[in-house]
Chains A and B, each alone.
Chain A
Amino acid sequence: MTKNLKWIILFLTPATLFFLYVYAIPIIVLFTTSFTEWTIGTAPKFIGINNYIDLLTNDSDFIKAGINTGIWILLQSTIHVALGVLCALILARKKFYWKFTRTVYMIPNIISSAALGMMFLMIFNPTFGAVNSLIRIMGIKDFGHNWFLSDSTAFLAVTIIWLPFAANITILVLAEMSSIPPSILEAAYIDGAGEVQTNIRIVLPMVHRIIGTSTLLAATSMLQKLDVIMITTSGGPGNTTLNLPMYVYETALRQNNFGKANTAGVYMIIIGLIVVKSINWIYRMDESDI
């Protein structure tokens, strides 16, 4: 083995260097400067956990961003996941439309989410957007509601850009379902179980682990959604659609308040870990089997 040691080192070096430059150093910067007061042009000054307290007690934008992100995580790990799973159950019947539907459903997931955001910005455009045109055709003339700029609908309009597009989950669940031995399903039918019953009692429990994984991916993706928000609302009107990534971006690169932005970044990592832990616990993914 020792004669291979130099090869092992050589093979690990590139990956390690990339890791150090793009992850390790920034992560160290993130944690250390989260305890400092640091704005553009000044040197970081150690202030203990002041930023951490300040964000929670004194910053309504951060709180709002946290609440919004929380709501989106909840919606995404329930409705979004359910939609993806339901679609998988239907497509698993392998009717003539299944491949086409699977391919088409993936399109919104595969394109740049900035572009998806742009599409929906135009779809919800008050004058020429498809949504308002449709409403006008259906009878409400002069309907000119501005979805993204109105307090009452901005949140909904943003949510629509990611909530229905659960093709990733559909694909994961479909793949897992194909590994269920057909004999088990046949046995269920012979015992007189209907399709719905088989799905609920047999298929879903057997794929619960992949549903857990899907939920994990869906929930944590809500800590990444910056491009869609930037293209559509920038967090507005006011802070109605502000999420944590947008808050970090605003604080770091517009207000140049680096210390505070990095504290928010640490909070984001903590929230991510809590989400991962809870979903693991809910779906019992740590246990070896059901």
Chain B
Amino acid sequence: MLKYINKFLIFLFITFIIVISLGPFLWVVISSLKTNVEIMSGSFGMPKVLKLSNYATAFKLAPLTKFYLNSIIVAVSATILNVSLFSMAAYVLARTTFKAKNIFRVMFSIGLLIPGASLLQPLYMTIKQTGMYDSLLTLIIVYVAFGLPTTVYIITSYFSTLPRELEESAYIDGAGFFTTFIKIIVPLAKPAFGTAAVLEFLLCWNEFQFALTLTTGNKNRTIPLALYYFKSQFASDYGAMFAATVLVTIPSIIVYIILQEQVVSGLTAGAVKG
């Protein structure tokens, strides 16, 4: 008897988890295909005809194409810069010994202790004073830096697991520091690069508050801001608003589904540091 109650409770719990995770998203997707009248009636039924024009309207009302393009440019460049530049720092931390090493170690992890919002105004000021306000390059630089602690951590720990003999034999064969890094170490550390890259990409794709603060107008804004745009300006075309929400979330979900293992191992690796 107790066993069945137990089973039933587990069933309830798992159903609850699935419903709260999938429910909101499915409801938004279905609503995005309804007419405004159908939406306002507040029923849970399927739309009579799929109103795909909501998506077209969403693209017309907000500069979604522009925002998408900006997001892709920012996320791809920031991810490439982030993993390629910081893997170098990670290599030094993992493999060399010098006096100031611990200073750098602390420096690169300090970002974990600073709540982002506390830097809103100071970073805004720094960016303004250096003439970098409202440009895609600024967003790229800021996001590359925001990923510093995680990327350095993930890649350093992976490098440390590689056997040192590999480099020693490369040195004996006459390869220098840089050649060894590029030719021997980097190819071996592909999984760590993948993990760090996925996390950095999602950070860039989803970030909202700094994208809002460090840009103005529509020229350099990224896709999460599209929602704010809809909320403040076109609050009456609900179909388009639902469609915009779907358009913003779909890329993250696709990236996650395809690269699930990297995301999972990234979260696990990123947290062991405590």
Which residues of A are found within 8 Å of B121, using beta-carbon distances? 30, 248, 252-253, 258, 261-262, 265
SS class, residues of chain B in contact with chain A:
helix
* A244 on interface, CB distance cutoff 8 Å: yes
- Given A27-B114, A33-B122: A112 and B24 interface contact (C-beta under 8 Å): no
* A188 on interface, CB distance cutoff 8 Å: no
- Given A11-B88, A220-B115, A258-B121: A108 and B21 interface contact (C-beta under 8 Å): yes
Q: How far is the CB of B40 from chain A (nearest CB, A)?
A: 5
- Given A86-B13, A128-B238: A210 and B92 interface contact (C-beta under 8 Å): no
The stretch among A51-59, A119-127, A198-206 that forms the contact with chain B is: A119-127
Contact indicator A18/B21 (Cβ below 8 Å): no
Which residues of A are found within 8 Å of B116, using beta-carbon distances? 224, 226, 245
Contact indicator B208/A253 (Cβ below 8 Å): no
A45-76 Cβ-contact flags toward B at 8 Å (1 or 0): 00000000000000000000000000000000
User: Complex Cα distance A275/B274, Å?
Assistant: 13
Q: Count contacts on B: residues with CB < 8 A to the other chain.
A: 93
Contact of B152 among A15, A168, A213 (CB under 8 A): A15
Contact indicator A272/B24 (Cβ below 8 Å): no
* A276 on interface, CB distance cutoff 8 Å: yes
Which residues of B are found within 8 Å of A276, using beta-carbon distances? 113
Listed by A's residue number, 20 A-B pairs whose Cβ atoms lie within 8 Å are: A15-B152, A25-B126, A101-B18, A106-B256, A107-B25, A108-B24, A111-B248, A112-B223, A112-B249, A116-B24, A128-B42, A128-B238, A129-B42, A137-B44, A172-B268, A216-B274, A226-B117, A226-B209, A249-B120, A268-B118
The stretch among B50-58, B61-69, B102-110, B158-166 that forms the contact with chain A is: B102-110
- Given A19-B108, A112-B252, A132-B42: A223 and B274 interface contact (C-beta under 8 Å): no
* B177 on interface, CB distance cutoff 8 Å: yes
Contact indicator A119/B92 (Cβ below 8 Å): no
* A235 on interface, CB distance cutoff 8 Å: no
Residue of B nearest to A176 (CB): B268
* B80 on interface, CB distance cutoff 8 Å: no
Interface positions of A (Cβ within 8 A of B): 1, 4-5, 7-8, 10-12, 14-16, 18-19, 21-23, 25-27, 29-30, 33, 86-87, 90, 97, 100-101, 103-108, 110-123, 127-130, 132-134, 136-137, 164-165, 167-168, 171-172, 175, 209-210, 212-214, 216-217, 220, 223-224, 226-227, 230-231, 244-245, 248-249, 252-253, 258, 261-262, 264-266, 268-269, 272-273, 276, 280, 285
Interface positions of B (Cβ within 8 A of A): 10, 13-14, 17-18, 20-25, 27-28, 31, 39-44, 85-86, 88-89, 91-92, 96-98, 104, 107-108, 110-111, 113-126, 130, 141-142, 144-146, 148, 152, 176-178, 181, 202, 205-209, 212-213, 223-225, 227-228, 230-231, 238, 241-242, 245, 248-249, 252-253, 256-257, 260, 263-264, 267-268, 271-272, 274
- Given A4-B177, A133-B44, A224-B115: A262 and B86 interface contact (C-beta under 8 Å): no
